[in-house]
C-alpha cells in the first residue's frame, strides 16, 4: 500500500499551490468578465483561460518544475498546446454543464477547474517539463 508521504512531494505541493492560484486567477477573471462586464460566458471563459495560462506557465516554469530548458519558445509551445487541449475541454464541459444540464455557472466553473488542474499537471510533468 502506498504511503501518503511517498505520494506527496514538494513538486506536487507547489503545483497544487500554484494550481489553486491559477484557478483563482481563472475564476476571478471569469467573474469580472461575465458578471461585471457582461461578456457571454463562453467568451469570458476563453479570455479567463488565456490569462490563467500565462500565469501558470510563468509559475510552473520557475517555481514548480524549476525548468532549465533554454528553448523557452519550444517549452512554451508545448505548454500552450497542453493548455489548449485542456482549455477546449474546459469550454466544452462548461457548455455541457450550463447549456445542456442547466447547472449553475460558478459551481460548474469550480468543479471543471479541478478536473483541468489534474490534466494539466500530468501533461506538464510528462511532456513539457520532463
Q: Going residue by residue through the chain (130 aa), what tens digit of pLDDT does each one get?
A: 455 566 568 999 999 999 889 989 999 999 999 999 999 999 999 999 899 999 999 999 999 999 998 899 999 999 999 999 998 999 999 999 999 999 999 999 999 988 988 898 899 999 999 8
Domain ranges of the chain: 7-128
Residues in CB range of 80: below 8 A, 6 or more apart: 53, 57
The pTM score is: 0.73
Q: Where are the alpha helices (DSSP H) in the chain?
A: 4-7, 10-31, 41-59, 72-95, 105-123
Question: Are 87 and 46 contacting, i.e. CB atoms less than 8 angstroms apart?
Answer: yes
Amino acid at each position: 500500500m502506498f504511503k501518503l508521504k511517498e505520494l506527496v512531494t514538494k513538486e506536487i505541493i507547489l503545483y497544487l499551490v500554484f494550481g489553486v492560484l491559477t484557478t483563482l486567477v481563472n475564476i476571478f477573471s471569469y467573474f469580472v468578465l461575465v458578471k461585471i462586464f457582461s461578456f457571454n460566458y463562453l467568451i469570458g471563459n476563453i479570455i479567463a483561460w488565456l490569462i490563467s495560462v500565462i500565469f501558470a506557465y510563468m509559475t510552473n516554469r520557475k517555481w514548480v518544475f524549476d525548468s532549465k530548458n533554454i528553448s523557452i519558445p519550444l517549452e512554451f509551445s508545448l505548454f500552450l498546446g497542453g493548455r489548449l487541449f485542456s482549455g477546449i475541454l474546459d469550454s466544452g464541459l462548461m457548455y455541457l454543464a450550463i447549456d445542456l444540464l442547466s447547472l449553475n455557472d460558478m459551481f460548474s466553473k469550480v468543479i471543471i477547474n479541478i478536473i483541468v488542474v489534474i490534466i494539466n499537471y500530468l501533461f506538464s510533468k510528462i511532456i513539457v517539463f520532463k
